[in-house]
């Protein structure tokens, strides 16, 4: 069982009246009966108790003024806290889903469709990768991931999680994509570049003008050298293409579906044909976007559960995934809310799935239901009812 460390609580002397309302406000109880206090909440409660103790023996008029000022400050801080949580909320998408195997499906193709590493699917369903999938077979697939950045309108492509995030009026649609080979050789650098871009044009049934670097590679490998490939079943761009302002980088369909959600291109961004048709219709000329590289992501979800997602550093741009993960956790102020053993396991696995690394199992938490304001109201009502 992992060791859990708690900060030493601050002890404050309170009157019998305060003792009836203070302890329960920000505590929670596990099912095994152990009552725990959140350090940050305990500190705030101590401040509240000190304030109340200073005014408890004052004249009623003074007490009422102090209470009014306190409530104004309290509600202002509460509003600011809620607003902060709303606007800084993280976005976690996906979950656990059931996939029905279609005719012609292979694990690699299913992974391309769902944006999941095909070996994760095999492991989760205890499958032998060498055995073909059976049509009609039900597979359990976990697709949970953290959205690296959120915007109102535009495109975010995270190379590390091989996903294109398309935002339109705040609504998000995520598409698995194929990206550049992690290769730099005499012919060129095939890694997909990072940076901001703008959609400069849209092409239906595009002609592929073969770059000089790829022509050299064709000649070196003894293949027929082509300068241009017309529209058709042999055109690697598929039926639709979006031209970005980054030289040589297109977002386009593909004639090789299993290359999606993998690193197989010469730098362009490949999208499954059925997804590319939808994207082509939705994206307008002039749409802004950015290509980023973030293999480690941290987020807080419902009930302040902490999630960590770690992916393989395919392009070798992070010195240490472990140090980078812990740095992000510390920057978010989540060190006291995570289980170090869970974090280390996620870093080790590099599964690409957002995992819950919270310190306490959510099924063991039972929160008090009585509203805070009801406790304050009951206390002051009983305290001052004799003064009226």
What residue spans define the domains of the chain?
A: 16-87+368-387, 89-146, 151-292, 296-357
Contact 207, 167 (CB under 8 A): no
pLDDT (0 to 100) of residue 13: 36
79: pLDDT strictly greater than 80 = no
Q: CA 212, 217, 218, 219 torsion: positive or negative? A: positive
Question: What CATH number was assigned to the domain covering residues 151-292?
Answer: 2.40.440.10
Quote the CA–CA distance of 216 and 272 in Å, as a whole number: 27
pTM of the model: 0.72
Query: At a CB cut-off of 8 Å and minimum separation 6, what does 334 contact?
Result: 298, 300, 306
pLDDT at 35: 38
State both tokens at 173: 């649609």
Identical fold between 89-146 and 151-292:
no
Inter-residue contact 169 to 150 (CB < 8 Å): no
Inter-residue contact 293 to 159 (CB < 8 Å): yes
Mean pLDDT of the chain: 81
pLDDT of residue 72: 75
What would the two tokens of residue 65 be? 């003024």
Q: How far is CA 4 from CA 28, 40, 339, 358, in A?
A: 16, 16, 8, 12
pLDDT at 66: 66
Indicate the range of 67-71, 254-258, 337-341 predicted with least confidence: 67-71
Residue with tokens 């219709």: 281
Q: 74-88, 118-132, 244-258, 343-357: lowest mean pLDDT where?
A: 74-88
Residue 35 CA to residue 139 CA, distance in Å, equals 41
So what's the pLDDT on residue 375? 55
Q: How far apart are CA 237 and CA 255, in angstroms?
A: 7
Q: What's the rounded Cα separation, in Å, for the pair 235 and 364? A: 56
CA dist 141 and 115 (Å) reads: 10
Contact present, 45 and 52 (Cβ < 8 Å): no
Report the pLDDT value the prediction gives residue 152, as an integer from 0 to 100.
94
In this prediction, residue 377 carries a pLDDT of 54
- CATH entry 3.40.50.2000 includes domain 89-146: no
Q: Which residue has the higher pLDDT, 146 or 74?
A: 146
In the structure, what pLDDT confidence band is assigned to residue 33 with cuts at 50, 70 and 90? very low
Is the pLDDT at 237 greater than 90, yes or no? yes
pLDDT at 187: 85
The confidence score (pLDDT) of residue 117 equals 95
Per-residue pLDDT at 334: 95
């Amino acid at each position: 069982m992992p060791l859990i460390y708690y900060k030493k609580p601050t002890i404050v002397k309170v009157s019998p009246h305060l003792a009836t309302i203070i302890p329960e406000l920000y505590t929670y109880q596990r099912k095994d009966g152990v009552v725990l206090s959140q350090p940050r909440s305990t500190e705030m409660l101590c401040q509240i108790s000190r304030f109340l103790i200073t005014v408890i023996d004052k004249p009623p008029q003074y007490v009422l003024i102090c209470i009014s000022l306190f409530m104004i400050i309290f509600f202002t801080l509460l509003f600011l806290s809620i607003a902060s949580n709303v606007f800084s909320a993280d976005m976690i998408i996906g979950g656990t889903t059931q996939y029905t195997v279609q005719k012609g499906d292979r694990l690699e193709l299913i992974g391309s469709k769902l944006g999941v590493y095909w070996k994760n699917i095999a492991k989760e369903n205890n499958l032998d990768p060498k055995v073909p999938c059976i049509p009609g077979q039900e597979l359990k697939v976990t697709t949970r991931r953290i959205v690296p950045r959120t915007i109102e309108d535009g495109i975010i492509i995270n190379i590390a999680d091989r996903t294109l995030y398309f935002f339109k009026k705040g609504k998000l649609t995520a598409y698995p994509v194929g990206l550049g080979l992690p290769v730099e050789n005499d012919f060129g650098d095939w890694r997909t570049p990072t940076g901001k871009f703008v959609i400069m044009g849209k092409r239906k049934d595009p002609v592929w003008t073969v770059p000089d670097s790829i022509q050299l590679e064709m000649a070196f490998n003894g293949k027929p050298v082509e300068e241009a490939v017309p529209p058709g079943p042999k055109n690697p761009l598929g039926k639709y293409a979006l031209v970005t302002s980054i030289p040589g980088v297109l977002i386009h369909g593909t004639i090789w579906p299993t290359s999606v959600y993998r690193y197989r291109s010469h730098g362009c961004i490949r999208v499954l044909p059925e997804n590319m048709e939808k994207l082509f219709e939705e994206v307008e000329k002039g749409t802004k976007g950015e290509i980023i590289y973030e293999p480690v992501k941290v987020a807080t979800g419902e009930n302040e559960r902490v999630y960590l997602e770690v992916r393989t550093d395919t392009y070798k741009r992070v010195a240490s995934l472990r140090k980078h993960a812990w740095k992000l956790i510390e920057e978010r102020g989540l060190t006291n809310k995570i289980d170090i053993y869970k974090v280390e396991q996620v870093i080790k696995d590099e599964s690409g799935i957002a995992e819950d690394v919270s310190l306490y199992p959510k099924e063991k938490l039972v929160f008090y239901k009585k509203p805070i304001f009801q406790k304050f109201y009951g206390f002051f009502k009983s305290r001052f009812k004799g003064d009226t």
